[in-house]
Structure 1
Amino acid sequence: MRVAFVSMLTTHHEETPATRRTRRTIRFLQNNGHEVAVLCAQWWGGDVPEFEHEEITYRRVTEEPSARGFASKLPFALRKVGADVIHAANRPPGQVAAAKTAGRFLRTPVVVDWWDDTGHTRSGYRRAAKRADLVVAPSQTVKTQVREYGASESDIEVVPECIDTSLVDEVDTDERAQLVYARRLDEHANVESFLLSLAELRDRDWSAAVVGDGPERERAERTARDLRIDDRVTFLGALSDADLVSVLKGAHVFVQTAEREPCARNLLWALACGCISVVEYQVGSSAHELVEGRERGSLATSPQEIAERIAAAGAFDHWTVDESFNEYDCENVLGRYVDCYERVVDGYGLF
C-alpha cells in the first residue's frame, strides 16, 4: 500500500509526542513493505523539492512552515504522489481540510491521526473532525474530544501509543530512585503535585527522580528546594527510552500528575517495567485509562492522596517487568493503522 503522510511539521522541525508518533508509524510501515511519502514543510538545505533521510522520502510542500500556505499548495503535491490512502496529522487542522479536498478529486480516502486540539480555533478542528473518512485517536479521552467536534462514533478508532517491550528485557536496572516522575517539563507537567506528595512523606526513607526537561524545570527545582527535599530528588533531564527504562526497572513507584496527556507513554513504560503506578486524575489527561482496574495502579486527586498511595505501595513486591503490557508493543499496535487504511479503502470501493 502507498501512503501519503501529510504533516507540515516533522521531528526535524520539532520533537513532540505527535511528530514522534508519526515517525514511528512511518518506520513501521516501511519495515513491513509499504511505500511512504511524507509531505511537509522543507527542513533540509538547498533548492531540492524531495529529500531522502534514513530511507524516508520527504517532499516539500512549502519552504517554510505556514499553515495557510501549506494548505493551499497541498492538493497539488498530493496529486503527484498517487497514494492509496492519505494519512494526515490533525495539526494544523487546515491541512486536513486541504487533504480531504484533494482526496475527493483523487478518489483517495483520508485518515486523520488526532493527537491534541491546542493552538488552533475550535472551528478549524470541527472541520477537520467532520471531513475525515476515519479519525485515529490515541485514547478514549481523545476519542470523546473528537466526538465533541462532530465526528461520529463509528468513524473514530483508538490506536494507543506503543513501546518497544524488548527494551524492558534488554536493559540493565538502575536503582538510583525508588520513586519516579517522567515527562517534558512544560506548563502542563504539574510536577509540583509530585513534589508536594514527597514532602508529605519527608519522615520516611525514600529517593526520587524527575526525568524530563523543559521550560518549567528551573521552577520545579526551586520548588524542591523550597520544600527542603532537594537532597533526595534528582533531576535527570531528558533520557532516551533505554535509559528511562533502566531507571524505571529500578524504581518501585511511578507517579503521573500531568494536566494534559493524550496518551501517557512514559506511564506505559513504567507499567511495563512493573512499577506501582499512581495517577492523579486530571480532566485533560487520559492517564487514568491505563491504571483503572489494575491491581498495581491507582488514582488520586491530591498530593495528600498521592502520598497515601505511595506509602501503600510498600505492600507490593518489586517487579522489573509486567508482561501483560506486551499488547502495547509497537509490532502489535502499529499494525492497526494498516487495518484502518484497508477499512477506508474498502469503503471507497462501495461508491
Structure 2
Amino acid sequence: MRVAFVSFETVHHRDSEANRRLHSVLELLDERDHDVHVFCARFWEADVPTFERDDVTYHGLSSGLESKWSFLARLPGAITSFDPDVVHAGANPPEQVVSASLGGKLAGAPTFLEWHGDGGIENTWWNRRAGRWADRIVTPSEMVATWVRELGIGSKVISVVPDPVDLDRIRETEPDDSVDVAYARRLDEEANLESLFLGLAELRGRDWRVTVVGDGPERPVYERLASDLRIDERITFAGDLPLEERIATYRGAHVFAQTAEHCVFPTEMLWALASGCIGLVEYHTASSAHELVEGWDRGFRTTSEEELADAILAAGDLERRDYDETFAEYDRDAVRDRYLSAYRSLQDSSGFL
C-alpha cells in the first residue's frame, strides 16, 4: 500500500508526543514493506527535494519550519504526483489537513487525520475545518475522541487506536531487581509525583521500595520532598533510561503508579502493565490513564493520597507477574492491523479504489 504521511513538523524537527505518535505509525507500516512517503518541511542540510532515512522517503516541500504557507501551497500537487492509496495527516498545523485532503481528493485517496491531542484541542475555526475535511479521524484515547466531538465532529468518523507496545521485546527482556512501585515520566510541573510520595508517606511503617524513572526540571523539588517526608532512603531516582532498562524495571516491579495531571495516552504505563505490573491511576480530567484500568481486576483508580495508599496496600494481595497477556491487543502487529483494516474499509465504503 502506498501511504502519504503529511506532517509539516516531524520527530526530526522536534521530539514531541504528537510527532512520535505519527512516526510510530509510519514505522509500523514500513516494517511490513508498505511504500511510505512523508511530506514535510525539510530537516536535512543538502539542498535536495527528497531524503531517504530508514527506508522512508521524505519530501521537503519547504526549506524549513518558517515557510508554512509555501508547504501548504505545494502539498496538493505533491500528493497527487505521488498517487497514494491513503493520505495520513497529523493535526498540527490544522491547515495542512485541508491541503492534504485536497491532494487526496485529486489523487482519489481517502484522508486519515491522526489527532493526538497533545496540549489539548482548541475549538478554533481551523481545527473545526480540519475535522470536517478528513474522511476518518484517529485518536489515541476516548478522552481525545471526546475533545474532537466537542468541535462538532460526528462520532461515526472517529476511531480510537492506542499506541502500540512490543510484546516480544517484553518477553525477551530479563526482569531487573524486585521493587514494590515504579513510576516513569518526565519530571516537569505536570508529573504530580507528590501525590505518590504523600501516599507512600502514609505507609512509612511498612516495608516498600520505589524506583522513579525519568528526569526533568522538577527532579530537585521531588528529591527534596522525599527527604522532607523522610522516605528518601526507600526511593531510587534512576533518571532517564533506555527502553530496554525501563522494561526490565517494570518486569521487576509489582505496581506501576500513574499520577500525572496530563496524559493523552499512557504509553509508558502500557509498557509496565504488559510487563506484569498492577496499574494504579490517580484520576485527572486531562488524563486518559484511567481508561487502561477500567474493568480490569489488576487496576486501581484513585482520587486522593489516602485512596492511593489504600490501593498500594490492596495491590500487595495480588500476585507478582512479569508479563500479562491481557494486553495482546496493544501489540505492534495488532495495532498495525487496525490501521490497515481502517484504511481498506474506508477505501471500500467511500469508493476510493
- Indicate the TM-score class for this superposition, using the shorter chain for normalisation: over 0.9
Q: Deviations over 1:119-162 (max 9, x none)?
A: 77521322222221000111111111111112211101111111
Normalised TM-score (structure 1):
0.94
Partner of 1:22: 22
Give the secondary structure class of the aligned counterpart of 1:293: coil
Partner of 1:231: 233
* Aligned-partner residue type, residue 78 of structure 1: I
Deviation at 1:309, TM superposition (A): 0.5
Deviation at 1:89, TM superposition (A): 0.9
Question: How many residue pairs end up in the alignment?
Answer: 351
Aligned equivalents of 1:209, 1:118: Cα separation in 2: 27
Partner of 1:305: 307
Aligned equivalents of 2:271, 2:92: Cα separation in 1: 26
* Aligned-partner residue type, residue 290 of structure 2: H
Aligned equivalents of 1:257, 1:128: Cα separation in 2: 32
Cα distance 1:279–1:121, how it changes in 2: closer, same or farther (>3 A)? closer
Partner of 2:40: 40
Partner of 2:198: 196
Cα distance 1:350–1:112, how it changes in 2: closer, same or farther (>3 A)? closer
Which range is displaced more, 189-198 or 260-269? 189-198
Partner of 2:179: 177
What percent identity do the matched residue pairs reach? 45
Which range is displaced more, 219-228 or 79-88? 219-228
Q: Deviations over 1:240-293 (max 9, x none)?
A: 222111001111111111122111111111111121111001111111111111
* Aligned-partner residue type, residue 12 of structure 1: H
CA contact (8 A) 2:18 2:118 kept: no
Unaligned runs of 5+ in 2: none
Partner of 1:54: 54
Aligned equivalents of 2:69, 2:309: Cα separation in 1: 48
Cα distance 1:318–1:25, how it changes in 2: closer, same or farther (>3 A)? same
CA contact (8 A) 1:117 1:125 kept: no
Aligned equivalents of 1:311, 1:39: Cα separation in 2: 51
* Aligned-partner residue type, residue 207 of structure 2: D
Deviation at 1:106, TM superposition (A): 3.1
CA contact (8 A) 1:107 1:348 kept: no
CA contact (8 A) 2:37 2:56 kept: yes
Aligned equivalents of 1:314, 1:48: Cα separation in 2: 59
* Aligned-partner residue type, residue 122 of structure 1: N
* Aligned-partner residue type, residue 31 of structure 1: E
Give the secondary structure class of the aligned counterpart of 1:40: strand
Cα distance 1:74–1:288, how it changes in 2: closer, same or farther (>3 A)? same
Aligned equivalents of 2:128, 2:201: Cα separation in 1: 43
2:208 aligned residue (206, 215, 221): 206
Deviation at 1:45, TM superposition (A): 1.5
Cα distance 1:12–1:350, how it changes in 2: closer, same or farther (>3 A)? closer
CA contact (8 A) 2:121 2:147 kept: no
Partner of 2:245: 243
Cα distance 1:76–1:185, how it changes in 2: closer, same or farther (>3 A)? farther
Q: Deviations over 1:155-188 (max 9, x none)?
A: 0111111100112211111115321111222333
Aligned equivalents of 1:72, 1:220: Cα separation in 2: 48
1:161 pairs with 2:131: no
Normalised TM-score (structure 2):
0.93
How is 1:99-138 mapped onto 2 (pairs within 5 angstroms)? 99-116=100-117, 118=119, 121-123=122-124, 124-138=126-140
1:276 pairs with 2:278: yes
